[in-house]
């Protein structure tokens, strides 16, 4: 796929994503097997496709909630200033919580969100990220479950955007900007 400003080359296929989501869901189900209810918190907007697929594969009673945090805006670089744009609708005190993130890059967003949610006294809290770019990490943070470790490339697709575009791609694609 391309437009005059950039082109997109497939990095991770839809088939590979589906297989990995199934494996992640089994691991998450086993980890939280004795939960009364798992609160699955999707970080908007990039995780919405991932959370929908993951939630359908988790074999536990779940409740889904969303939190919107941003450190990018319409840029390809993190501002490192995390803003909460939409908070959770429900309570998580005393509950098992799974935070679902699209991509862990510098780590600032996930660290901020986990600190915020931990301050609300959940019973247990874990994180699952579809993608991880460890070469870009600036803070000490790691999700318990990771779909794919990727190189330092700007990516779109499967819910992840560039300036609100390309979320609808069924695969993860690497963006190359045209000169």
Split into its structural domains, the chain has a count of 1
In a domain, 45, yes or no: yes
**What pLDDT is attached to residue 79?**
55
pLDDT in tens, 93-132: 999 999 999 999 999 999 999 999 999 999 999 999 999 9
CA distance 102 to 158: 9
Is 24 among the domain residues? Answer: no
The one catalytic residue among 105, 132, 152, 161: 105
Specify if 155 maps to a domain. yes
In a domain, 87, yes or no: yes
Q: 69 — phi, psi (to 5°)? A: -125, 150
Residue 178 maps to a domain: no
Q: Tell me the pTM.
A: 0.91
CATH number of the domain that residue 68 is part of:
3.40.50.2020
User: Is 29 a member of any domain?
Assistant: no
Q: Edge-to-edge, what's the strand order for the sheet holding 83-86?
A: 83-86, 62-70, 38-44, 96-104, 124-132, 145-149
What's the confidence (pLDDT) of residue 83? 85
Alpha-carbon distance of 146 to 102, in angstroms, equals: 10
How large is the greatest C-alpha to C-alpha distance in the chain, in angstroms?
A: 54
Q: Which two tokens stand for residue 46?
A: 């990039």
For residue range 128-159, what is the model confidence (pLDDT) as tens digits?
A: 999 999 999 999 998 999 999 999 999 999 99
Q: How far apart are CA 179 and CA 174, in angstroms?
A: 16
Question: Does the residue 126 lie in any domain?
Answer: yes
Contacts of 158 (CB under 8 A, 6+ apart): 14, 17, 49, 50, 130, 167, 169, 170, 171, 172
Verify whether residue 87 is a known catalytic residue.
Answer: no
Q: Is residue 70 part of a domain?
A: yes
Residue 57 has pLDDT above 60, yes or no: yes
Q: What range does the domain containing 67 cover?
A: 36-164
């Amino acid at each position: 796929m391309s437009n005059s400003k950039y082109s997109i080359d497939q990095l991770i296929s839809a088939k590979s994503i589906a297989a990995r989501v199934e494996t992640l869901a089994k691991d998450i189900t086993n980890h939280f097997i004795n939960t009364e209810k798992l609160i699955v918190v999707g970080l908007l907007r990039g995780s919405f496709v991932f959370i929908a697929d993951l939630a359908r594969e988790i074999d536990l009673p779940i409740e889904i909630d969303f939190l919107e945090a941003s450190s990018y805006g319409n840029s390809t670089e993190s501002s490192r200033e995390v803003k909460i744009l939409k908070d959770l609708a429900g309570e998580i005190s005393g509950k098992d919580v799974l935070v679902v993130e699209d991509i862990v890059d510098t780590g600032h967003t996930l660290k901020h969100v986990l600190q915020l949610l931990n301050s609300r006294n959940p019973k247990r809290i874990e994180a699952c990220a579809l993608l991880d770019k460890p070469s870009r990490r600036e803070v000490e943070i790691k999700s318990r479950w990771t779909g794919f470790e990727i190189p330092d490339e700007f990516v779109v697709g499967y819910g992840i955007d560039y300036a609100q575009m390309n979320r609808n791609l069924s695969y993860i694609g690497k963006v190359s900007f045209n000169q």
